[in-house]
Structure 1
């Protein structure tokens, strides 16, 4: 049975609310049930970490709440707006206006500078911050005119974070954002995500296999076999620099 969602801080209001979310992938006659009736309630401004083995449903849920995929069954709301059943153009508008994505691999355009990579988002966002301001926020203001090949892996990931943060999204969805980084560089990336959460009020959801990262979150959802098996609440989240990597 899925863990109950009531542990969210209801005083903040809901960023996401899901009811009975199921996702079935079909290939010929084969069916794989990736999500098995998940209920969730994520508070606005919450820092949430999703833990669990590969194939447990974490990425499927992240893709659904980010509007990249749709549930087979169930209902999903972003604040007061139901996402379930939206038309494709409406879903595209939802993603563009509300969601920032950060992945394990940086997806920067090699022929553009760091600043120009961030501007790709600011040019289409409704109320963006200045691209240079976003780079300053991640500690890369002095690298604005460098190309990706001139940046370390950690610097490239921080440019990707700046690009996601620059449009002032309501939510940041991060799929293994430190997975390809060493511990010190990973901590710097996490510090940037924590700063976005605290200074901008952005809801941050992080998928990771690193159990230690859960200590920076308000809550940790432990996934198993397509369900939220357990919810862990942190009354006193720690700073990224304190993580046992």
Structure 2
């Protein structure tokens, strides 16, 4: 693994640190500035919500943190590893071993059961959870032998969460995980994510445009026009079961 950069503070409590990151997409005649000089720290074991409207830069930031994209300018660290200086082999290992992704759409293999979808990840992980245990953590052990078509949207999303956590990642990055769900089902999914954060201590970042979800976070980072508009710490957090929208 790469050594800490000279100006990187080696703080064991910091999972992610970004310094002045920008992201510009060149669409031909127009340049789109998705991120504009973002400085951010996310901490070990916290549940962070990145809040903002569509187009505010949230998903771009999450993709950069997860090693799926690179900034146009600026630097990004995961613990003491500078991701922006890493080669493709290191980034591949980082994505495989350290990061669990949950997206708005579930991306399950329809011909595999819930357990088999989770086992796709456990077969390549270093020290995976048993697929049954991962599904139990999100409340789906009784449904583990059902196919995606036999599961509701919320259940499919919980299978996707189980798949993401089965490899025991250091971080769980969730991009609008309730975006395709109604409020009642979304709360069940948020409860599963909350349980993973609490029981496994997985640093968790959820991006959303839904301000109600911010009430369950340790910290809320609000975005506007590609920049951080505000960071607040919740003195008291609401459990997912008390969230409504």
TM-score (norm 1): 0.94
- Which position in structure 2 is the counterpart of 1:215? 215
- Which position in structure 2 is the counterpart of 1:147? 147
**Are the counterparts in 2 of residues 99 and 170 from structure 1 also a CA contact under 8 Å?**
yes
- What runs of 5+ residues in structure 2 fail to find an aligned partner? 1-9
- Which position in structure 2 is the counterpart of 1:102? 102
**Are the counterparts in 2 of residues 12 and 45 from structure 1 also a CA contact under 8 Å?**
no
**Are the counterparts in 1 of residues 223 and 229 from structure 2 also a CA contact under 8 Å?**
yes
Cα offset, 1:33, TM superposition: 1.1
Q: Work out the CA distance in 1 between the residues paired with 2:200 and 2:46.
A: 12
- Which position in structure 2 is the counterpart of 1:174? 174
Matched positions, count? 236
**Are the counterparts in 1 of residues 183 and 244 from structure 2 also a CA contact under 8 Å?**
no
- Which position in structure 2 is the counterpart of 1:40? 40
Q: Work out the CA distance in 1 between the residues paired with 2:42 and 2:128.
A: 24
Cα offset, 1:202, TM superposition: 0.3
SS of aligned partner of 2:116? helix
- Which position in structure 2 is the counterpart of 1:6? none
- Which position in structure 2 is the counterpart of 1:203? 203
SS of aligned partner of 2:84? coil
- Which position in structure 2 is the counterpart of 1:70? 70
Identify which range, 24-33 or 111-120, moves more after superposition. 24-33
What CA deviation, in whole Å up to 9, does each residue of 1:76-106 have, x standing for no partner? 0001111012112211110001000001110
Q: Which runs of 4+ in 1 moved over 3 A?
A: none
Cα offset, 1:12, TM superposition: 6.2
Q: Work out the CA distance in 2 between the residues paired with 1:188 and 1:38.
A: 32
SS of aligned partner of 1:232? strand
- What RMSD in Å do the two structures reach over aligned CA positions? 1.2
What CA deviation, in whole Å up to 9, does each residue of 1:178-201 have, x standing for no partner? 111111211111111111111111
Q: Work out the CA distance in 1 between the residues paired with 2:165 and 2:27.
A: 37
Q: Work out the CA distance in 2 between the residues paired with 1:28 and 1:188.
A: 43
What CA deviation, in whole Å up to 9, does each residue of 1:167-218 have, x standing for no partner? 1111011011011111121111111111111111101100111110000000
Matched, 1:52 2:52: yes
Identify which range, 21-30 or 36-45, moves more after superposition. 21-30
- What runs of 5+ residues in structure 1 fail to find an aligned partner? 1-9
Cα offset, 1:32, TM superposition: 1.1
- Which position in structure 2 is the counterpart of 1:165? 165
- Which position in structure 1 is the counterpart of 2:7? none
Label 1:234 to 1:12 Cα distance change in 2 as closer, same or farther (>3 A).
farther
TM-score (norm 2): 0.94
